[in-house]
Amino acid sequence: MNVLLVGGESAGLQTLKAITATPHTLVGVLPSQSKNGFAGATVEGLARKLGVPTWSATCVRDPQFASVVAAAQVDVLLNVHSLYLIDAAVLQAPRLGCFNLHPGPLPECAGLNAPSWAIQRGEQMHGVTVHWMAPGIDTGPLAYSERFPIDDADTGLSVALRCIRLGVRLVETLLHTAATDAAAIPRIPQDLCKRRYFGAGPPDNGRLTWSASARQVRDFVRAADYRPFPSPWGHPQTRANGGELAVVAASCTGRSTKEAPGTIGVRSERGVEVACSDEWLLVRDVQEAGRYQPAAAVLRSGERLS
């Protein structure tokens, strides 16, 4: 079976490796450039090392590229973490169809940065989906999906990595089914009444609101935590001592407070307590002028964040 991969970042790289471990023929790769500055191997680098033909990922927007897909006798096109909308003519070109790996449950979490949005919204479950592609973003019937719990220790990075690991397995299942009995690939219509679309940027323009609950502030902080890699949202910002700093790591204390939200309380080796609407939040690490530091090295008791 002939497979064409449109992909980028770690998910695209892992999918490329998975395809090469199967008996299927990888007829070409359209690598997307990483937007997160990940170091190490890349989709394009591995494809060239393997001697696989490559085209720019932007080609999928050109209806003329459909003739290239047809000439290569592509059976399945896989779109994995590539952000270019595929032209309708290109979507029609593969013999069996085009499929997208989405790092979130559909239709409830369509759009971009789904792992971060799930944590920020306090979701207790998340998931990953492989769906048939149709014109639009994250549209088309569902083929395969898997859901998993989110716990308080999860960050944007840990949830994203779980999506990649489980998602690559779903892609492998898809390819196996497509090769053995393509008619058996599920085609489950999305319930569009449940559809929610989330954009690329962070909530509240990336600023913390200390009048929110401690849990809400903490969830925003961990949703944006992709360390040691850059966060797609950046770390949430607050104002302190007349300047800007970002909160990088925080945890709930369970201790109630009646202080004004944003008030800096007790400082210790563990971090600095900051008042939220309901309880003290322990801020452990911050980022100031691009440098990560312990919160106690920057914040002073009695001052107020805004």
> So what's the pLDDT on residue 33?
72
pLDDT at 170 over 50: yes
User: Could you please report the per-residue DSSP string of the chain?
Assistant: -EEEEEEEHHHHHHHHHHHHTSSSEEEEEEEEPPSS---S--HHHHHHHHT--B--GGGGG-TTHHHHHHHTT-SEEEEES--SPPPHHHHT-SSSEEEEEESS-TTTTEES-HHHHHHHTT-SEEEEEEEE--SSSS-S-EEEEEEEE--TT--HHHHHHHHHHHHHHHHHHHHHHHHHHGGGS--BPP-GGG--EE-SSPGGGGB--TTS-HHHHHHHHHHT--TTSPPSS-PPEEEETTEEEEEEEEEEEEEE--SPTTBEEEEETTEEEEE-SSEEEEEEEEEETTEEEEGGGT--TT-B--
> So what's the pLDDT on residue 293?
94
The whole model's pTM is what? 0.94
Whether residues 209 and 148 fall in one domain = no
> So what's the pLDDT on residue 32?
87
Q: 38 vs 96, which has greater pLDDT?
A: 96
> So what's the pLDDT on residue 214?
98
Average pLDDT over residues 65-79: 97
Residue 303 lies in a domain: no
Whether residues 22 and 160 fall in one domain = yes
- pLDDT tens digits for 142-166? 999 999 999 999 999 999 999 999 9
Average pLDDT over residues 96-123: 97
Could you tell me the residue range of the domain that residue 211 belongs to? Answer: 205-297
Whether residues 216 and 156 fall in one domain = no
> So what's the pLDDT on residue 37?
44
CATH number at residue 264: 3.10.25.10
- pLDDT tens digits for 36-48? 444 468 999 999 9
> So what's the pLDDT on residue 275?
98
pLDDT at 72 over 50: yes
Mean pLDDT of the chain: 95
| Number of structural domains found in the chain | 2
> So what's the pLDDT on residue 41?
80
Whether residues 159 and 10 fall in one domain = yes
Whether residues 187 and 57 fall in one domain = yes
> So what's the pLDDT on residue 241?
80
- pLDDT tens digits for 228-280? 999 999 999 999 888 899 999 999 999 999 999 999 999 998 999 999 999 99
Residue 213 lies in a domain: yes
Q: Which of 198, 216, 234 is the last residue of a domain?
A: 198
